[in-house]
C-alpha cells in the first residue's frame, strides 16, 4: 500500500524518500492506492483520545499517508478546528449561509500544523537530521514546534523585518535557528531551496508534497463536520498556493472515492499587492509572472508562489475562481471577524473579504452556501490589530475602530466615560 511520488509535468515517478522535486525541476505529487475507504470509518474515530486518530489530520490517515508507521508520527495533535456562524457575517457578506472554519485553532495557531505533522513524520521516517523552511512566519512557527517535538535540528529562513511578532517569537522560543534573510519571502524561498540541496537539509515548505497531503485534511474535516454534504463554495486566502493545491486534490479524491457527490467551487483570494496568481487566472499571462509583493497581510506577501501549477489545476477542476482584495477590504473583513468574537490575523480575512466581493459581483449568489477558511489566529499579529483600532495604519480607514479610553482612577470618570448616570441609567 506504499505511496509513490509523481511529477506534475513529465509524469516521472519516484518511490518515497528524500526526493522532493522531479529531476526535470517541477513539483512532485503523492499518489496513493486507496483501499477500504468509507465515511463510517472516519466517523467512528470522532472523539477518540487514542493516537494518532485523535488528530484531525491522522483521523484521515488512509487518505493522507496510509503506510507510515505510527512510531514516526509527530502529532500535537492538530486539526479538530471549529466552524462558526454569526449574524454579523451574514449581514456583512449578504450571504444567507456563511460559516468560518478556524484553522487558527491549531496547536501553533495556523493551518500549517496540518501539513507539518505529515511532513515532519516523513522527515523522521526518511532519516532526516536537519529540517528547514522559508516562511512569512507561520510555517516557521509550526516547523520550529514540530522539530522540537521530533528532536530534530531546525533552520528557518524569514524575510528580515517582514514577519509578524507573534510568529517570530514562536520560532525563537521553540529553538529554531532563525535566519533573517535580507530580502522578501521569495528571496528566502530561493535560498532555502539552494541550501537544502547543497547542505542536505530536509525541506519542509509546501514544495514538499507531504505538506500538501496534510493540508488536504482541512477539506476532509470540513466535509465531515457537514455530514459529508459539501457547501457550494469554499473560499481560501492565497499566498504560496499550498492550500489551493491541497484543496483541489482533496476534492478530486473525495469525489472519486464517492465520499461526496458534488464538488464545491473553490475561490482563491489574493491580496491586490501580491496578486500574480490572480493575474495568471485572468488570462493576462500564460505562465506565472512574478512580482515584488506589497500588502499589509504579511503572511501572503508573496510574489512568486511555488505551487501555482498545482493551484491552477485545482481552480479549473472545481470550476472555481481567483479574486483579489485590497488592504482596506482585508482590514475591514478582519474587524468583522474579530468583532464576532472569533478573530483572525489579517491574511485570513482575505477569505471573508473575497466572499463579500464575489457576492457583490454576482459570482456567488446570496442563496449559496459558503465556507470561508480562516488560516491564522488573531494573536499572531497583535501590532496590526492595535494600530487599526488606534487609527494608526497608513492608508487604511479604521471604520470599525474600537479605541481604548484613558481615564482617572475614580468612579466619576468611569461614569463619564461609560455614559452611565448615578443610578446606572444611561444619560
Task: State yes or no: residue 110 binds ligand F0G (CB under 6 A).
Answer: yes
Any contact of residue 345 with ligand F0G (CB under 6 A)? yes
Q: Which stretch binds ligand F0G (CB under 6 A): 87-95, 169-177, 236-244, 321-329?
A: 236-244
- Cβ proximity to ligand F0G: between 124 and 156 the closer is 156
Helix extents (H) in 151-241: 165-173, 185-199, 209-215, 217-225
Q: Using the rule CB under 6 A, is 78 a contact of ligand F0G?
A: no
312 binds ligand F0G (CB under 6 A): no
Q: Which of 79, 107, 239, 293 binds ligand F0G (CB under 6 A)?
A: 239
Q: How far apart are CA 397 and CA 387, in angstroms?
A: 11
Query: From the CB of residue 85, how many other CB atoms can be counted at a distance below 10 Å?
Result: 13
Number of H helices, E strands in the chain: 16, 13
Nearest distance from residue 375's CB to ligand F0G, in Å?
Answer: 3
Q: Does 54 bind ligand F0G (CB under 6 A)?
A: no
Backbone torsions φ then ψ of 236, nearest 5 degrees: -140, 140
Q: Where are the alpha helices (DSSP H) in 257-296?
A: 276-281
Task: Name which of 300 and 337 has its Cβ closer to ligand F0G.
Answer: 300
Measure the N-to-C terminal CA separation of the chain; round to a whole number of Å.
72
CB of 185 to ligand F0G, least distance (A): 7
Residue whose C-alpha cell reads 473583513 in the numeric block: 333
CB closer to ligand F0G out of 137 and 209: 137
Q: CB count, 10 Å around CB of 150?
A: 18
Tell me the closest approach of the beta carbon of residue 137 to ligand F0G, in angstroms: 5
Rounded CA-CA distance 42/115 in Å is: 19
For residue 163, the SS3 value is coil
Stretch 112-141 residues interacting with ligand F0G (CB under 6 A): 112, 135-139
Nearest residue (CB) to ligand F0G, 207 versus 396 = 207
- With contacts defined by CB under 6 A, how many residues of the chain interact with ligand F0G? 22
Binding flag, residue 170, ligand F0G (CB under 6 A):
no
**Minimal distance in Å, beta carbon 204 to ligand F0G?**
11
In sequence order, the β-bridge partners of residue 322 are: 268
Do residues 266 and 247 touch, judged by C-beta distance below 8 A? Answer: yes
Residues near ligand F0G (CB under 6 A) are: 110, 112, 135-139, 237-244, 299-300, 345, 347-348, 375-376
Amino acid at each position: 500500500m506504499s505511496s509513490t511520488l509523481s511529477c506534475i509535468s513529465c509524469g516521472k515517478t519516484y518511490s518515497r524518500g528524500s526526493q522532493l522535486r522531479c529531476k526535470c525541476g517541477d513539483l512532485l505529487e503523492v499518489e496513493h492506492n486507496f483501499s477500504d475507504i468509507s465515511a463510517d470509518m472516519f466517523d467512528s474515530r470522532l472523539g477518540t483520545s487514542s493516537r494518532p486518530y485523535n488528530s484531525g489530520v491522522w483521523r484521515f490517515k488512509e487518505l493522507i499517508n496510509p503506510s507510515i508507521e505510527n512510531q514516526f508520527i509527530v502529532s500535537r495533535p492538530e486539526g479538530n478546528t471549529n466552524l462558526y456562524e454569526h449574524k454579523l457575517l451574514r449581514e456583512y457578506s449578504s450571504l444567507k449561509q456563511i460559516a468560518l472554519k478556524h484553522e487558527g485553532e491549531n496547536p501553533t495557531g495556523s493551518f500549517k500544523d496540518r501539513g507539518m505533522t505529515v511532513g515532519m513524520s516523513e522527515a523522521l521516517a526518511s532519516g532526516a537530521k536537519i529540517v528547514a523552511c522559508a516562511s512569512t512566519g507561520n510555517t516557521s512557527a509550526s516547523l520550529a514546534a514540530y522539530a522540537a517535538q521530533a528532536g530534530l535540528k531546525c533552520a528557518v529562513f524569514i524575510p528580515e523585518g517582514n514577519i509578524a511578532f507573534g510568529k517570530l517569537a514562536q520560532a525563537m522560543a521553540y529553538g529554531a535557528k532563525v535566519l533573517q534573510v535580507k530580502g522578501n519571502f521569495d528571496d528566502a524561498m530561493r535560498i532555502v531551496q539552494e541550501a537544502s540541496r547543497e547542505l542536505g537539509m530536509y525541506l519542509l515548505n509546501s514544495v514538499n508534497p507531504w505538506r500538501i497531503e496534510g493540508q488536504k485534511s482541512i477539506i476532509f474535516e470540513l466535509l465531515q463536520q457537514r455530514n459529508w454534504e459539501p457547501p457550494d463554495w469554499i473560499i481560501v486566502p492565497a499566498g504560496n498556493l499550498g492550500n489551493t493545491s491541497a484543496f483541489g486534490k482533496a476534492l478530486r479524491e473525495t469525489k472519486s472515492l464517492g465520499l461526496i457527490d458534488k464538488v464545491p467551487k473553490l475561490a482563491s483570494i489574493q491580496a491586490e499587492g501580491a496578486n500574480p496568481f490572480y493575474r495568471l487566472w485572468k488570462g493576462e499571462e500564460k505562465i506565472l509572472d512574478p512580482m515584488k509583493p506589497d500588502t499589509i497581510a504579511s503572511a501572503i506577501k508573496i510574489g512568486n508562489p511555488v505551487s501555482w501549477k498545482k493551484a491552477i489545476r485545482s481552480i479549473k477542476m472545481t470550476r472555481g475562481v481567483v479574486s483579489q482584495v485590497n488592504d482596506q477590504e482585508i482590514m475591514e473583513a478582519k474587524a468583522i471577524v474579530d468583532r464576532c468574537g472569533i478573530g483572525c490575523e489579517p491574511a485570513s480575512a482575505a477569505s471573508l473579504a473575497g466572499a463579500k466581493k464575489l457576492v457583490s459581483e454576482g459570482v456567488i449568489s446570496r442563496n449559496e452556501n459558503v465556507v470561508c477558511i480562516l488560516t491564522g489566529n488573531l494573536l499572531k499579529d497583535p501590532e496590526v490589530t492595535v494600530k487599526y483600532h488606534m487609527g494608526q495604519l497608513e492608508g487604511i480607514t479604521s471604520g470599525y475602530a474600537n479605541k481604548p479610553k484613558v481615564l482617572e482612577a475614580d468612579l466619576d470618570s468611569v461614569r463619564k466615560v461609560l455614559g452611565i448616570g448615578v443610578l446606572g441609567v444611561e444619560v
